[in-house]
Structure formats: C-alpha cells, structure tokens
C-alpha cells in the first residue's frame, strides 16, 4: 500500500493539476503532496483555484501539517517541502535549480521517508527539476509516473524525468487520475493493459 503521492510540476501546472485532481475521488486513500513552481511573492490563489476543480480537500502546507488521505497538500511559495513520517515540514534552505520550493527536495525526502510506499509523479514544466528526485524514489523501491510529454503544455520536465528514469510509467494526462486510483487499490499493472495481454 502506498503512503504518499508526491507530484511535481512547473509551467502549465495549474491546467495539468486541475485535470488530474478533478479525476480523483474525495476519499482517495493516499495523501498527496504537490510542488508547483511559484513566484516568491505568490499569494494563496493556487490552492483556491485547485479546490474549485476537485472533491479532495486542497490546502496550502503549514509547517508540521499531518499527511491526510483525501487531502492535497500544496507547497507554499518560497519554502521547500520535506515529507516526514506522517507529516510535512517546511524549510527555507537555498533554492535548488533556482527553485524554492524544489521538486527534487520534496521527492528526495519522500523517497527517504517512504521508500517503496512512495509514488512520484512529474507533470508539465520548463526545466529539469524533479528528474533526479524521481530517480531517487525509484532507487528506494517507489513508483514513478510521468505525464506523456505529448500531452504536456511544456514537455521539458517530463522528458527529463523519462531520461533519468527509463522505467517510469508514461501516462497521458487524461489517464493519470485513473492510474493513481488503480495503484491506490493495489493494481500494479494498468488494468486496460493487463486485459489486452490476456
């Protein structure tokens, strides 16, 4: 069973996250942590915009927030997010790849804390943040999903993730939510693919 879904995105992320979260049920059993690159002076608008599209509860992370099923925890502007056992913490360490929050920092902590119980998801974006962290999730036994670059507004980030993690499952944006639901229910292989293979 999975303990966390860690999602990273950048340019084009609002549209991609809206599509992804809208497909998840209100009782999705795995806590979700989202890092979306944001300007350091960004306000609380991102969680509010995402809330309009989903039955999940969307909240901006405060330090030491408990990881809760049915909730999407969104990184605040200008803080790194660390996934800890059962909660998330915030740090103000130096930006990584010019980003704070950094996807790699969040993915690394999810990998180190949850290992095989972590799912990392890389969506649209214009830089390579997240690729190294996704590789660490896989190295620790976790699962990697990457938005099919053909369905990404900006394909740089998913392409970098696929290059760093050739074993990643590449999924079109409109299938990512249903794939996460399958994984949360214990289906390790895509159900449609396993039916065709029979």
Peptide bond into 198 cis (omega under 30): no
- Partners of 73 in the beta sheet? 33, 59
User: Residues 164, 146: contact at Cβ < 8 Å?
Assistant: no
Q: Which of 3, 104, 129, 184 is catalytic?
A: 129
| Catalytic residue flag (residue 37) | yes
Task: Give CA–CA dist 141/144, Å, rounded.
Answer: 10
Q: Which of 3, 37, 102, 104 is catalytic?
A: 37
| Catalytic residue flag (residue 26) | no
Q: ∠ CA 37-43-47 to the nearest 5 degrees?
A: 70
| Catalytic residue flag (residue 10) | yes
Output the CA torsion 80→168→72→106 (10° steps).
-10
Q: Which of 10, 102, 109, 184 is catalytic?
A: 10
Question: Which residues are catalytically annotated?
Answer: 10, 37, 129
């Amino acid at each position: 069973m999975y303990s966390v879904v860690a999602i990273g995105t950048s340019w084009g992320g609002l549209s991609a996250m809206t599509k992804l979260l809208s497909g998840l049920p209100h009782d999705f059993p795995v806590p979700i942590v989202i890092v979306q690159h944001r300007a350091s002076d960004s306000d609380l608008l991102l969680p509010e915009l995402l809330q309009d599209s989903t039955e999940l509860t969307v909240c901006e992370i405060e330090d030491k927030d408990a990881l809760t099923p049915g909730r999407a925890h969104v990184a605040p502007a200008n803080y790194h997010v660390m996934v800890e056992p059962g909660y998330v913490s915030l740090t103000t360490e130096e930006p990584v790849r010019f980003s704070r929050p950094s996807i790699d920092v969040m993915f690394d902590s999810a990998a180190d804390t949850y290992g095989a119980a972590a799912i990392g998801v890389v969506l649209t974006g214009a830089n390579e943040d997240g690729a190294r962290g996704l590789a660490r999730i896989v190295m620790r036994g976790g699962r990697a999903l990457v938005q099919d670059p053909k369905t990404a507004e900006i394909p740089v980030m998913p392409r970098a993730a696929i290059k760093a993690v050739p074993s990643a499952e590449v999924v079109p944006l409109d299938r990512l939510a249903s794939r996460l639901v399958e994984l949360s229910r214990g289906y390790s292989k895509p159900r449609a693919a396993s039916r065709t293979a029979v």
